[in-house]
Chain A
């Protein structure tokens, strides 16, 4: 501690703090607290104050440290007279704080040297909240397990507590939303940010490891179930948010620890859904597609429109004529965009589903699952979990820049995998989804002028999703709608270079900015959440 005090004397933090560091404490190990203190004093950004509220520690040595810190300017220390739990302690620290912004730092963790600087830069750049990437440190400050997070994804956040540390927010807004709820101690920061994010969507993500989370025995960082069943609290928190937002779904335990599955309620209304399937010959594929669609789908209010591009195979023609579908002729050279656009005037549904003819339904309630997302105002399109016949992943979302263009992430992974931090097992925001199975509102399709017919063969679905995103809507991938996609069985292996470059050219600004939902620390060549280069794991302490 002597070293810490000397360091404080040298660092000379500002008298006008811009950001208040909030740290609840309780019987903190002195060595770890020193590590934290040093990391704060070594911050490159100087306009901070440190608000420490202690929840009745009994450790004499630690209390001595608090007494020494109490006398320092820019450090506020308060010791509660009776134990109140982490939420109340944090709220008291919020009240003590005077900075325009606050950030939450646990008593045994460590900040990277530029943590405050980066956060303040982001907050001053018209954001109301910012969170960073993090990693784990052991007792000796050895680092490991970097956690590279996506850009702000409200749907994903309901399934996965990914925001974590370091989180910095506006103090006044934090108080407005009611601070931390003691009823959720254990997941209090997650529950807090669920409410905070309902008040604003100006949330930034800094893709740098700026927070080091102490992983020692008894901590959640070390063992996910170290603090009892946080899963139940997590589900309750999500359930409460769903109710506040009037979303017709419940929250249940997911298939993996600390994952929440959103389960849509049984529907009382069934808006009409039009399933549009471009097709040509391929009788076996077409038969399987239509048979599964009608036999397995539990949703009742849907119609199927098949856009027939010069089918000549008699069995396929028989299928088209006998199946309960609208048979639309599209003679001439095949253009996927034009085929789907051609079907639009014949579609009576409020929602459109674009489907390839080499897709087979697996989960019977696939329409209900996709509709739950598609009918939300902020959602522009919904994609499904598509599998190869061998039960590995064919599609779980599209990443911009993947393999130099845009391609499916986690391709080839087992169907029931969790994915990177729940990216497969939980619904989440993505930049695009494949039109092999895509649902969207009919009115929005009209508003964005449908598929762009300049794309003849490929990438028109990515282009459509980019147009939808340009309208401020989100694209959602849901693993709860599961279908088989034999991929390109009917189209073969032709690759259209004009379509390839057309996508890159039309959306060059967006491609240059990178996919907001795929951390830039990940490799784009493999597109499987592997690191692109060794992450910076040096602990600045």
Chain B
């Protein structure tokens, strides 16, 4: 069962789903979770954000479940950015002030920590997020992957490149994904790298799929769009073929409080394509070997990306090694089967370790300033 705040109808787009979808309202109102009428044995809360946290609390009044929480972002940093306030200020606010300020789509600094403290276990999408977990709470690093039936290494053909309109002498760089507030600056780095390459005499074309939910290329986008082929929203099944015609794939980003604590969702798909991939020295990049699994940049900004593209495309041996290394990393380290096994074992071992706690029990609220310092760059 997957519970969402609203819009459960959106799950109709997921084919062959092996779960039911329901929304918070109906479940809190007593709708059946399962055919036997029982509630969940395990509730895995996807982030400790207010909306989710409140749902967990509401459900606790009905059911005695083992709580697990998943972390996939630097929640204090997101809150600090959203409120435009340093974390030190937020940490020193009163409960009344926090209750007034914290929106439901973000994490309350104390309540979220309280939720984590009550969990039987916390899954983290990247190791660094363990810094946000209260001491003594079991953790599990859980990497996502890509559908291995869909994301395979496909051959690149000149015909396919021609059909997309890629100039014959152009280095094709692909980015398959939407642009929104969180990643706009990073995707702009790719457009900028392509623009720099072109104006300095290296023909390059950006193959782009997805929608733009934010204007990010300035009022006059011609400087960027003239070097890109915009394919818009395409069926997910066609993404591998787009990746297959690319010469280089790029995951942009700089190290810092955002990137160090996340797992870019596009990366498993990029690596599955078996193409030279450029990544920053952050999150999963720290687990890869530079020059083998990926071309790892201290900071994957536009100029660094452009230089990396020049280096890779001028060195066929390096390009070949990176292509093979990307696929190897995907096959060995990114597997849904492995992640599912690990999670299942985690549920089994931790459910019995910690008794379920009730709302009346108070957990120790942390020194939030110390918590902030521990996640500082």
Contact = CB atoms under 8 A, between A and B. Distances in A.
B303 A454 contact: yes
Contacts of A121: 88, 92, 369
A209 to B, nearest CB: 14
A121 B195 CA distance: 44
A509 B257 CA distance: 11
Contact of B200 (A114, A117, A454, A505): A454
A500 interface: yes
A502 B196 contact: yes
A502 B302 contact: yes
A302 interface: no
Interface string B176-199: 000000000100110010011001
B58 to A, nearest CB: 33
A497 B92 contact: no
Nearest to B91: A121
7 contacts: A121-B92, A497-B218, A498-B192, A498-B195, A501-B217, A502-B196, A508-B301
B256 interface: yes
Contacts of B200: 454
A506 B304 CA distance: 9
B223 interface: yes
A506 B188 CA distance: 12
A500 B303 contact: no
Given A44-B92, A509-B254, 10 more contacts: A118-B88, A121-B92, A454-B200, A497-B223, A498-B195, A498-B223, A501-B188, A502-B196, A505-B301, A509-B256
B353 interface: no
A506 B223 CA distance: 18
Interface in A108-167: 114, 117-118, 121
Contacts of B192: 498, 501-502, 505
Contacts of A500: 218
B282 to A, nearest CB: 13
Interface in A485-515: 497-498, 500-502, 505-506, 508-509
B223 to A, nearest CB: 4
A185 B217 CA distance: 57
Nearest to B256: A509
A498 B199 contact: yes
B369 A505 contact: no
B220 interface: yes
B257 to A, nearest CB: 10
A505 B189 contact: yes
A294 interface: no
Nearest to B305: A505
A456 interface: yes
A494 to B, nearest CB: 12
Interface in B275-291: none
A429 to B, nearest CB: 22
Interface in B191-222: 192, 195-196, 199-200, 217-218, 220
Contacts of B217: 501
User: Is chain A's binding surface mostly helix, strand, loop or mixed?
Assistant: helix
A498 B303 CA distance: 11
Contacts of B303: 454, 502, 505-506
A505 B200 CA distance: 18
A454 B196 contact: yes
A505 B88 CA distance: 27
Interface in A441-456: 454, 456
B92 A114 contact: yes
Place the interface of chain B in its size category: 20 to 34
Nearest to A456: B199
Please classify how large the interface on chain A is, using the bins under 10, 10 to 19, 20 to 34, 35 or more.
10 to 19
B196 A508 contact: no
Contacts of A44: 92
A317 to B, nearest CB: 29
A508 B254 contact: yes
A333 to B, nearest CB: 10
Interface string B83-103: 000001000100000000000
Interface string A93-107: 000000000000000
Contacts, number: 44
A308 to B, nearest CB: 23
Interface string A58-70: 0000000000000
Nearest to A496: B223
B93 to A, nearest CB: 10
B329 to A, nearest CB: 27
A117 B92 contact: yes
B31 to A, nearest CB: 44
Nearest to B94: A44
Nearest to B189: A505
B262 to A, nearest CB: 16
B192 to A, nearest CB: 5
B92 A508 contact: no
Interface in B125-158: none
A505 B220 CA distance: 17
Nearest to A208: B89
Nearest to A333: B199
B369 A506 contact: no
B301 A497 contact: no
Contacts of A118: 88
B369 to A, nearest CB: 7
A267 to B, nearest CB: 40
A118 B200 CA distance: 49
Nearest to A505: B302
A301 B60 CA distance: 82
A508 B185 contact: yes
Interface string B333-369: 0000000000000000000000000000000000001
Contacts of A506: 301-303
Contacts of B188: 501, 505
Contacts of B223: 497-498
Contacts of A114: 92
Interface string B292-331: 0000000001110000000000000000000000000000
Contacts of A501: 188, 192, 217-218, 302
A114 B86 CA distance: 14
A119 B262 CA distance: 32
A498 B193 CA distance: 10
B363 to A, nearest CB: 24
Contacts of B92: 44, 114, 117, 121
A500 B195 CA distance: 12
Contacts of A117: 92
Contacts of B189: 505
Contacts of A505: 185, 188-189, 192, 301-303
B247 to A, nearest CB: 21
Interface in B249-274: 254, 256
A508 B223 CA distance: 20
B220 A497 contact: yes
A454 B304 CA distance: 11
Nearest to B81: A512
A506 B369 CA distance: 30
A456 B198 CA distance: 13
Nearest to A121: B88
B265 to A, nearest CB: 21
Nearest to A122: B88
Closest 9 CB pairs of A and B: A497-B223, A505-B302, A498-B195, A121-B88, A505-B301, A501-B192, A505-B189, A505-B192, A498-B223
Contacts of A498: 192, 195-196, 199, 223
Interface string A440-473: 0000000000000010100000000000000000
A35 to B, nearest CB: 23
Nearest to B88: A121
Nearest to A501: B192
A502 B193 CA distance: 9
A41 B302 CA distance: 53
B50 to A, nearest CB: 24
Contacts of A502: 192, 196, 302-303
